[in-house]
Structure 1
Amino acid sequence: MKMQTPDKRFASDTYPTQTFWINFIIKSYARFRKTRASNAFSAIIVSIYNMPQMILLSDVNSVLYQLYETIMWNKLNKSMMFCQAMFGLSFYGVMVILTRFFLEDLGYSEADTMMVVGAFSSIGPLFAIAGGFIADKFLGAYRSLTIAYGTFATGYTLLVLGASTTNVPMSLVGIALASYARGLMSPSYPSLYKRTFSTEEDFENGYPVNYSVNNVGALLGQYLFPMFVLAIGFHGSFMLSAVMAGFAFVTLVIFNKQLVGVGADIDKNSVSLKNWLSFFALSAAMVGLVFFMFSNMDIGQNIVYAIGAAAILYFITLMIKSGKSDALKMGTILIMTVLTTCFFVYYGQMMTSMTMVTINTMRGDLFNIIPIAPEASMAMNPLWCIVAGPVIAMTFSSLEKKGINFSTATKIGFAFIFTAIAFGILTMAVMNIGEDVVIRPEVFLAIHFFQAFAEVIVGSLVVAFILSVAPKHIEGFSVSLFSVAMALSGIVGAVFSTSIALEKGQEITQEIVQNVYGDYFQLLTVLAVVMVAIALISSVIIRKMLDAARADEQPELVEAES
């Protein structure tokens, strides 16, 4: 492969004062990438430093230059990152405008809107379990990914038609298709992307850049699409998303021969009629199920609960049948799943209750110079995640050098501290709101700052922990519990959010904001403080369980050797 020559503005000698950042990231990355358990965290360390136009820091450019020097890029992985960018822009752009679309165009109540949007944001990860099964057993990663982008384009097109004709069922089918496509794409993309690199080392170096591309897409999509709505309406914005997804679909079709050539055997072999029929039957059932859930959220939420409960009960059954050592390790995974579910209930508020609060109260430009629509406040989350990644990495790395090591559960306790601060700020803002019923964008910028730090800690460490303790024969299913936790928390969080829903046409007053919003977020703040204590207690329990598991393994090893 021929390595692309980087732009001259990225040359390292242009920024001679950035030695510290370059050395820190390269050394940290070299250390972290040696262990599978920290792949997710190391991804964040490097990925965040790949946005020179967005962050405008010279050290970012220096690190980007280092990456260009060490990573062997080719047209296949570049084309796939283009597809990833199109996904980030289109999907998160659609998600950020759905709340106002259902409220204003489709006439939904605040309660129903929060349930639908909450479900839309969480159902995709749950169906990633089925998406992985389809890719492994029926179609292969390339076909699954191509169909996923085609399905995205189809779903967004139905949203265009639904917005143009104010057709609720058509709009619900559109977001059902998008949810299914997300589940189909999630496991297929990294599998195929990995095969576009010549070595495992190149992939480990390149995947963080891909993660960064997705962050850029999320940031731009969530910030720009509310403005697009003002200019071209909901139908025009949905059409823009459909075009982006279509570009990704066409890109995959154009590179069909090359991508299939580097794919797995299942990608290269023809698909039998039986497998195609099985795929279409399973897909129709999944889309139908999601449509039914969106149409009947009272029943739909119970379906998610049932799926989540079934997955957890099955895991408990496997745990009971396992030996003592494996059972103890699997028990720690269950504890971590509960903590993760509780955390993502708070994360889900960003798409539901917090969005409703910003729509009703946030007014003005950020720092009086940056225009921002109320619902676009969600864009502050990926912006702060970009900052949080390297800061957290540097902090924990510095502590480890001093011999201070925290367990994953303890770090989740730290995440809940950040969450408590974030929701404490929000509580103070709504409790002390003035008669004009306005909260400045800077308040939400501070809220998202702390919540983003919490998200980076939980999102980067939980899967790594599961991989480090899960028995090899159920490793994949164990990791899927993370998706189950996200789905359950999304629905539970949406249900909680409905408690602050106002009646259609109800006027927003100072008293309503203080009493309805204030009491709700005050309760969440108190519960976050409680979760700090629970996480720290769980850390002690998990440590003792893992110690007992290791102690049980020692006699088995001695017996096996003898």
Structure 2
Amino acid sequence: METVQKAGHPKAFNMIFFLEFWERFGYYGLQAVLASFFVKSLGMDDAESFVVFGAFSAMVYGYVSIGGYIGDKVLGTQRTILLGAVTLMLGYTLMAIAGSDKSMVFLALGFVACGNGLFKANPSSLLSKVYQNNEAQLDSAFTMYYMAVNVGSFFSMILVPIVGGSYGLDLGFGICAAGLVIAILNFIFFRRLVKGLDSPVGKEPLSMRKFAVVVLGLLLAIFVSAWMLTNLMVAHWFLAIVGTGVFLVFFKMIFEAKGAERSKLIAAFVLIIEAIVFFTLYQQMPTSLNFFAIKNVEHSLLGMTINDPEVFQTLNPFWIMLASPILAWLYTHFGKKDQDMSMPGKFAFGMCLCAISFLILGFSAKFANAQGIVSVWWLVASYFFQSMGELLISGLGLSMISKLVPQRMIGFLMGAWFLTTAIAAVIGGWVATLTTVPKSVVDPLVTLPIYANVFNEIGIVTVVIAILMIATVPTLNRLINKKDRVEN
């Protein structure tokens, strides 16, 4: 099939965009309410909910490398996408019927974590194959693809908390399951648009033996994941082992590569490490920032009363949706003129914006009213800077992998990219616990200085890290632009 067009994006892009929209609709609908669900329905305190949420998020992203490998080497990209989507749909269905049964909730989260692990790396791997002959459009394509993530999350993070608050979260989680049904049907009906685009094993007939092994392994992983959520130390050790294994394989790839390929892999490794810092900050949105919005931010916006303050998390995808088309156009415009900012430069600038987002929240405490409540516009501004930083780091991470990594490694290293989120999820959960107070403390005047001090400290540390990243930009640019010598 024709993989590029003279103008605009190919039809295959639209299909993958729609697939990712519905998959992220389900996941972010769950994420928006999960930490508060732990507190309200399972009786956890704030600190425990943050740590369990971090462990779950770590599993969600920690398994992505495995899913990338299965897509590359075992089942094929497209088959792995379909299996992952079905597993996710079953997970959200279980969440809808679990109620306050802790064992059932953790089993459902096991389905979601493992389903996401199978699914997550493979649509982006498939997208990279669509644009493998058109690198000039790659940043634009992945920025628009990232918008799909945020369009899906925007609508689900509004709908699920509101529906959950009015009719119960069982219906909210049911909506997440329905979104996955739509994603699966979309992929089945429009799969012809990516015919011939797959990993080498995906172009071969399906091996039922391999499929049976994957399904059995998946079931085992689901039950082990559910068990680990009740044994968090084991979960953290497991993540450490998986992370160490993935990075050892990465080091092996770097060691075996030569010339320009090795230089680009080294640059990719450094950028992945930098991303861990960003994802630690990002992890504060559904945890400490969410609870700050609940306890210390006015519950109104543009004259509208916000009864479910978890909805404030939609400020993140709102800004992403608004800015993504603009940035995509800028990347294409300046890319054609060879004037685009380098990838390391974008990462460093993005980290500066993230630092500002937390310093704003710390500063907002000086303008709180007599009850310890700050204006919602401080939160709006903070989410703006955090979201712009996200577009420059997380939004371009997949494009970075596509540019710097050979196609034969791309599925696995897409997974390694998402592993940064898993590592950061655990760190972010621990950071969020710095803002916790006893369940009996509900006075905003008591909670405000706690949040403000932690946000100020996060902002200052991030400024230092951003300065270090700026200093490394020239070196990383040299590694990325290195060319192999051509023998005469």
Q: Where on the TM-score scale, by shorter chain, does this alignment land: which range?
A: 0.7 to 0.9
Q: What's the offset of the Cα at 1:381? A: 0.6
Q: Partners of 1:260 and 1:468 in 2: how far apart?
A: 21
Instruction: Say yes or no: does 1:139 pair with 2:75.
Output: yes
Q: What's the offset of the Cα at 1:472? A: 5.9
Match of residue 319, structure 2, among 362, 384, 396: 384
Q: Partners of 1:301 and 1:541 in 2: how far apart?
A: 34
Match of residue 417, structure 2, among 478, 482, 485: 482
Bigger drift between 138-147 and 125-134 goes to 138-147
CA RMSD of aligned residues (A): 3.7
Q: Partners of 1:413 and 1:196 in 2: how far apart?
A: 28
**Would the alpha carbon gap of residues 320 and 214 (structure 1) be closer, same or farther in structure 2, given more than 3 Å must change?**
closer
Q: What's the offset of the Cα at 1:148? A: 2.4
Instruction: Say yes or no: does 1:356 pair with 2:291.
Output: yes
Corresponding residue number in structure 2 for 1:241: 176
Contact 2:128–2:402 at 8 Å: present in 1 too?
Answer: no
Match of residue 91, structure 1, among 21, 24, 27: 27
Instruction: Say yes or no: does 1:316 pair with 2:261.
Output: no
**Would the alpha carbon gap of residues 477 and 505 (structure 1) be closer, same or farther in structure 2, given more than 3 Å must change?**
same
Aligned to 1:505, the other structure's residue is in SS state coil
Match of residue 175, structure 1, among 109, 113, 126: 109
Contact 1:344–1:489 at 8 Å: present in 2 too?
Answer: yes
Q: Partners of 2:401 and 2:195 in 1: how far apart?
A: 33
Contact 1:260–1:267 at 8 Å: present in 2 too?
Answer: no
Instruction: Say yes or no: does 1:373 pair with 2:308.
Output: yes
Corresponding residue number in structure 1 for 2:374: 439
**Would the alpha carbon gap of residues 397 and 133 (structure 1) be closer, same or farther in structure 2, given more than 3 Å must change?**
closer
Aligned to 1:352, the other structure's residue is in SS state helix
Corresponding residue number in structure 1 for 2:474: 540
**Would the alpha carbon gap of residues 474 and 182 (structure 1) be closer, same or farther in structure 2, given more than 3 Å must change?**
closer
Q: What's the offset of the Cα at 1:429? A: 1.9
**Would the alpha carbon gap of residues 222 and 130 (structure 1) be closer, same or farther in structure 2, given more than 3 Å must change?**
same
The amino acid of 1:440's aligned partner reads S
Q: Partners of 1:273 and 1:309 in 2: how far apart?
A: 31
Q: Partners of 2:409 and 2:123 in 1: how far apart?
A: 22
Instruction: Say yes or no: does 1:150 pair with 2:86.
Output: yes
Q: What's the offset of the Cα at 1:208? A: 7.1
Q: What's the offset of the Cα at 1:78? A: 7.0
- Mapping for residues 210-225 of structure 1, pairs under 5 Å: 212-225=147-160
Q: Partners of 1:261 and 1:338 in 2: how far apart?
A: 35
- Mapping for residues 414-453 of structure 1, pairs under 5 Å: 414-453=349-388
Corresponding residue number in structure 2 for 1:332: 267
Q: Partners of 1:287 and 1:131 in 2: how far apart?
A: 14
Indicate the percent of aligned positions where both proteins have the same amino acid: 21
The amino acid of 2:372's aligned partner reads V
**Would the alpha carbon gap of residues 460 and 189 (structure 1) be closer, same or farther in structure 2, given more than 3 Å must change?**
closer
The amino acid of 2:470's aligned partner reads L
TM-score (norm 1): 0.75
Match of residue 391, structure 2, among 430, 448, 456: 456
Q: What's the offset of the Cα at 1:535? A: 0.5
Q: What's the offset of the Cα at 1:344? A: 1.5
Contact 1:82–1:248 at 8 Å: present in 2 too?
Answer: yes
Q: Partners of 2:350 and 2:17 in 1: how far apart?
A: 30
- Mapping for residues 286-297 of structure 1, pairs under 5 Å: 286-297=221-232
Bigger drift between 493-502 and 181-190 goes to 181-190
Q: What's the offset of the Cα at 1:329? A: 3.4
**Would the alpha carbon gap of residues 136 and 335 (structure 1) be closer, same or farther in structure 2, given more than 3 Å must change?**
closer
Q: What's the offset of the Cα at 1:435? A: 3.5
Contact 1:363–1:374 at 8 Å: present in 2 too?
Answer: no
Largest Rg, 1 or 2: 1
Bigger drift between 402-411 and 344-353 goes to 402-411
Instruction: Say yes or no: does 1:507 pair with 2:442.
Output: yes
**Would the alpha carbon gap of residues 521 and 256 (structure 1) be closer, same or farther in structure 2, given more than 3 Å must change?**
closer
Q: What's the offset of the Cα at 1:449? A: 0.6
Q: What's the offset of the Cα at 1:207? A: 8.0
Q: Partners of 2:145 and 2:335 in 1: how far apart?
A: 28
**Would the alpha carbon gap of residues 355 and 471 (structure 1) be closer, same or farther in structure 2, given more than 3 Å must change?**
same
Q: Partners of 1:100 and 1:368 in 2: how far apart?
A: 25
The amino acid of 1:179's aligned partner reads A
Q: Partners of 2:345 and 2:143 in 1: how far apart?
A: 25
Q: Partners of 2:39 and 2:120 in 1: how far apart?
A: 29
Contact 2:71–2:411 at 8 Å: present in 1 too?
Answer: no
Corresponding residue number in structure 2 for 1:102: 38
Corresponding residue number in structure 2 for 1:496: 431
**Would the alpha carbon gap of residues 485 and 446 (structure 1) be closer, same or farther in structure 2, given more than 3 Å must change?**
same
Instruction: Say yes or no: does 1:518 pair with 2:452.
Output: yes
Q: Partners of 1:403 and 1:378 in 2: how far apart?
A: 36
Contact 1:223–1:372 at 8 Å: present in 2 too?
Answer: no
Corresponding residue number in structure 2 for 1:115: 51
Corresponding residue number in structure 2 for 1:279: 214
Q: What's the offset of the Cα at 1:98? A: 0.9
Q: Partners of 1:317 and 1:142 in 2: how far apart?
A: 27
**Would the alpha carbon gap of residues 450 and 316 (structure 1) be closer, same or farther in structure 2, given more than 3 Å must change?**
same
Q: What's the offset of the Cα at 1:478? A: 3.9
**Would the alpha carbon gap of residues 77 and 477 (structure 1) be closer, same or farther in structure 2, given more than 3 Å must change?**
closer
Q: What's the offset of the Cα at 1:475? A: 4.5
Contact 1:416–1:528 at 8 Å: present in 2 too?
Answer: yes
Q: What is the total number of aligned residue pairs between the two structures?
A: 482
The amino acid of 2:430's aligned partner reads V
Match of residue 98, structure 2, among 140, 144, 162: 162
Bigger drift between 492-501 and 395-404 goes to 395-404
The amino acid of 2:298's aligned partner reads R
Contact 2:296–2:372 at 8 Å: present in 1 too?
Answer: yes
Deviation string, structure 1 residues 277-327 (Cα, Å, up to 9, x no partner) = 311232123323422332222331232223222222332244344446544
Match of residue 411, structure 1, among 336, 343, 346: 346
Q: Partners of 2:331 and 2:75 in 1: how far apart?
A: 42
Q: Partners of 1:259 and 1:541 in 2: how far apart?
A: 40
Q: What's the offset of the Cα at 1:526? A: 0.5
Bigger drift between 304-313 and 220-229 goes to 304-313
Bigger RCO (CA 8 Å, 6+ sep) = 2
**Would the alpha carbon gap of residues 269 and 499 (structure 1) be closer, same or farther in structure 2, given more than 3 Å must change?**
same
Aligned to 1:351, the other structure's residue is in SS state helix
Aligned to 1:500, the other structure's residue is in SS state coil
Q: What's the offset of the Cα at 1:251? A: 5.3
**Would the alpha carbon gap of residues 492 and 414 (structure 1) be closer, same or farther in structure 2, given more than 3 Å must change?**
same
Aligned to 2:158, the other structure's residue is in SS state helix
Match of residue 126, structure 1, among 56, 62, 68: 62
Q: What's the offset of the Cα at 1:225? A: 1.5
Structure 2 gaps, min length 5: none
Q: What's the offset of the Cα at 1:546? A: 5.2
